[in-house]
Amino acid sequence: MTTASQPLHQAEPIESKTLRNVCGLFVTGVTVITAGEGARSAGTTVNSFTSVSLDPPLILFCLHKESRLRTVLQETRTFVVNFLAGKQAPLAWTFATRDTAALQDVTHHRSAEGAPILSDAMAFLACRVANEFEGGDHTIFVGEVVELGVPRQNQEPLIFFRGSLSALEEELAGLHPIWDG
């Protein structure tokens, strides 16, 4: 057993729980990936989002093979990456739970291609599935960005660190958006 004060070091075989805990030390933002319509819609909380390429405009995320969103994506081939704001921690937990994630209960509107955009998200990227790659128990989805938006400037993001969700509020004071320069 390892206590908080002991250093951690592990070589093969790597335990899933330990890997998850160590990856949890890498601070990320939080997104909800949404797709589909009506009863065939789904949303899943995802922090494996990464921007890939500016030209062409590509992003990626990794989705568990048993995710309900996977089936929807395979039909629609379009999805939205919703960047959550600091106050949206309850929404992130809702979409991280298999039985309660009901898109119909959350305020949303549609992208030009018909994918659901969470209306209170900090920003969104609407994408077409450009490619899928095997990644162990996950599928790596690469999306081509076809529409994007930031409905309200200067909102603080939701961040994930060591298994907890919180708003990045104080650190933002004095920061300037990088897209101005």
Tell me which residues touch ligand FMN (CB under 6 A). 30, 42, 44-48, 62-64, 67-69, 92, 96-98, 101, 138, 160
- 10 Å Cβ neighbour count for 70? 18
Between 69 and 125, name the residue whose CB sits nearer to ligand FMN: 69
Tokens of 70: 């996977």
Between 40 and 98, name the residue whose CB sits nearer to ligand FMN: 98
Distance (Å, rounded) from C-alpha 69 to C-alpha 73?
Answer: 6
Tokens of 31: 């997104």
Between 117 and 165, name the residue whose CB sits nearer to ligand FMN: 165
Phi and psi, residue 4, nearest 5°? -60, -30
- What is the nearest approach in angstroms of ligand FMN to the Cβ of residue 94? 10
The CA radius of gyration of the chain, in Å to the nearest whole number, is 17
DSSP 154: T
Between 42 and 145, name the residue whose CB sits nearer to ligand FMN: 42
- What is the nearest approach in angstroms of ligand FMN to the Cβ of residue 37? 16
Between 44 and 82, name the residue whose CB sits nearer to ligand FMN: 44
- What is the nearest approach in angstroms of ligand FMN to the Cβ of residue 101? 5
Distance (Å, rounded) from C-alpha 108 to C-alpha 80?
Answer: 11
CA distances for 27 relative to 24, 110, 163, 165, 172, angstroms: 7, 30, 10, 10, 15
Distance (Å, rounded) from C-alpha 110 to C-alpha 81?
Answer: 13
- What is the nearest approach in angstroms of ligand FMN to the Cβ of residue 172? 20
- What is the nearest approach in angstroms of ligand FMN to the Cβ of residue 91? 11
